[in-house]
Chain A
């Protein structure tokens, strides 16, 4: 169902070419927003453009590169003339034991999941402060709140995103609202690549709602938080996990 006040908003979505990002692109297009995407995957970006000719544009950039992010925002200035809503969605994860994490892997995860969020948020906030304000939504995760074996780097980065969100909200209020969305398990290609059907079934069984989220359910939360339905929400992580971390392993 449509959310108040999103029509005509200039929305930037990072990692928008696939997964939750692509579902978010679709949602904001349905809301009649003007949507542009930053993604490093040029093939996926081209496919997205073909699927959605009404996109304002797809800019190819790696969010972990501050120079590339700055350049991408200059392109977005030409495409959109400013930014009202930023969905800081791009992220990666690597499934590996803590003892096996190499410095290069650690740096890669931190650079996309935490550094990238910072670069994109700062470029966005600069434009929002100069304009009429805006909303920045950062992709956290229940991984930033609980421990998950084999994702130590990802968990640490997401915990960082949540604290970055709180402090940004304090400094940038009242012109900019800053919120983190913390999904639990979402069924995307990123998840599919790492899980066997047996692993998925085992995960579903421990979630109170007995299933993974659909990407469009996360997109709906982004739409709500970005809209005029949520003008008093800032500075907090919002959990959307089917009840997964309401209890945890100790709950059963």
Chain B
């Protein structure tokens, strides 16, 4: 087992890549704090992990709120014996708008969940990791944090910020034995896709056909992203820090 006896927090774990990662981390031996805003879905994810023989707790938290982040870390430490080995900052929202159409509320929600939330969670998780002389932080970025995308001005700004914040944190905390990397998915088959299709006024089948237009000819699965997160979380990537691991079927190689 790649994460035996480690303790992990996964934010945005009530669905999609977060839920798949929480399940996989638990299968690989980690005790997992499943976090998100939707209590009923979150409790289902945690209960399914417990039922499969793993160890999980659900902690309701909105990563846009500093007090929630502080409490999520504290409750995780309390639940799992004071350790914290892996923080996967996966939570994020997406509103498909250009600079004119994007409302201030949408801008703030996007930046606060993906960028500020990842920073806040790191801020409260790092002291424990540093005291342990080791830990791993994984931020959820995006291919659109490296290249631009259409109708995604706030999302691109947030994810571009995450990619460079990853590097900055890697420089600061490498000497303390903390590795910080980010994942850059392309389109992944999660509830975010039908939501995006609806918001863009597109038929879902047409939308998916467009999304599959990349070298590997399909969108990714949440499980595939979870596998990449597991690699970054495990000792298999022991010399990787400050990196952006692109998992997009070749989408931005073009």
Q: Tell yes or no: A101 within 8 A of B by CB.
A: no
Q: Is the beta-carbon distance between B234 and A234 smaller than 8 angstroms?
A: no
The stretch from A60-68, A72-80, A165-173 touching chain B is A165-173
**CB contact between B227 and one of A213, A230, A244, A251 (< 8 Å): that residue:** A230
Residue of A nearest to B242 (CB): A246
What 0/1 pattern do residues 219 to 242 of A give for CB contact below 8 A with B? Answer: 011011000011111111011111
Contact B238 A243 (CB under 8 A): no
Whether a CB of chain A sits under 8 angstroms from the CB of B104 is: no
Complex-state Cα separation, A226 to B91, whole angstroms: 29
List of A residues within 8 angstroms of B238 by Cβ = 217, 220
A173–B216 alpha-carbon span in the complex (Å)? 5
Contact A174 B216 (CB under 8 A): yes
**Residues of B with C-beta under 8 A to A169:** 215, 250, 253
Residues of B within 8 A of A1 (CB): 1-2, 234-236
Complex Cα spacing A230 to B245, Å: 11
Near B by CB (< 8 A), chain A positions 152-175 give 166, 169-170, 173-174
A209-B174, A220-B236, A224-B231 are contacts. A232–B249 as well, Cβ < 8 Å? yes
Contact with B along A167-202 (1 / 0, CB 8 A): 001100110010000000000000000000000000
Residues of B within 8 A of A173 (CB): 215-217, 249-250
Partner of B239, one of A217, A234, A251, A252: A217
Total residue contacts A-B, CB cutoff 8 A: 134
Q: Give the distance in Å from the alpha carbon of A243 to the alpha carbon of B173 in the complex.
A: 10
Q: Does A147 contact B (CB under 8 A)?
A: no
Chain B residues with CB under 8 Å of A4's CB are 227
Known: A224-B236, A232-B220. A251 touches B249 (CB 8 A): no
* Cross-chain contact A221 with B240 (CB below 8 angstroms): yes
A residues less than 8 Å from B170 (CB atoms): 208, 243, 246
Chain A residue nearest to B167 in the complex (CB): A246
Interface size (B, Cβ < 8 Å)?
44
Residues in chain A near residue B236, CB distance under 8 A? 1, 3, 220-221, 223-224
Residues of A within 8 A of B237 (CB): 220-221, 224, 240
A8 located at the interface, meaning its Cβ lies under 8 Å from any Cβ of chain B in the complex: no
Contact A243 B246 (CB under 8 A): no
Q: Are B171 and A232 in contact (CB-based, < 8 A)?
A: no
Confirm or deny: B224 has a beta carbon within 8 angstroms of a beta carbon on chain A.
yes
Contact A238 B243 (CB under 8 A): yes
Question: Which chain A residues border B242 with CB–CB below 8 Å?
Answer: 208, 239, 241, 243-247
- Closest Cβ of chain A to B249, distance in Å, is 5
Q: Are A232 and B247 in contact (CB under 8 A)?
A: yes
**Contacting residue for B253 out of A166, A174, A210, A251, CB 8 A:** A166
User: Are B224 and A247 neighbours in the complex by a CB distance under 8 Å?
Assistant: no
Cβ contact within 8 Å between B248 and A232? yes
Report the Cα distance A247→B167, complex, angstroms. Answer: 7
- B249–A242 touching, CB < 8 Å: no
Is A52's beta carbon under 8 Å from chain B? no
**Are A170 and B254 interface neighbours, CB within 8 A?**
yes
Choose among A230, A235, A240 the residue that contacts B240 (Cβ–Cβ < 8 A). Answer: A240
Which residues of B sit under 8 angstroms from A229, Cβ to Cβ?
227-228, 230-231
Tell me the A residues contacting B by CB distance below 8 Å: 1, 3-4, 166, 169-170, 173-174, 177, 207-210, 213-214, 217-218, 220-221, 223-224, 229-236, 238-247, 251-252
* Apart from the given pairs A221-B237, A247-B171, 18 other A-B contacts in the complex at a CB distance below 8 Å: A1-B1, A169-B250, A169-B253, A207-B174, A208-B173, A230-B224, A230-B231, A232-B216, A232-B247, A234-B216, A235-B246, A235-B250, A235-B253, A241-B240, A243-B167, A245-B242, A246-B168, A252-B171
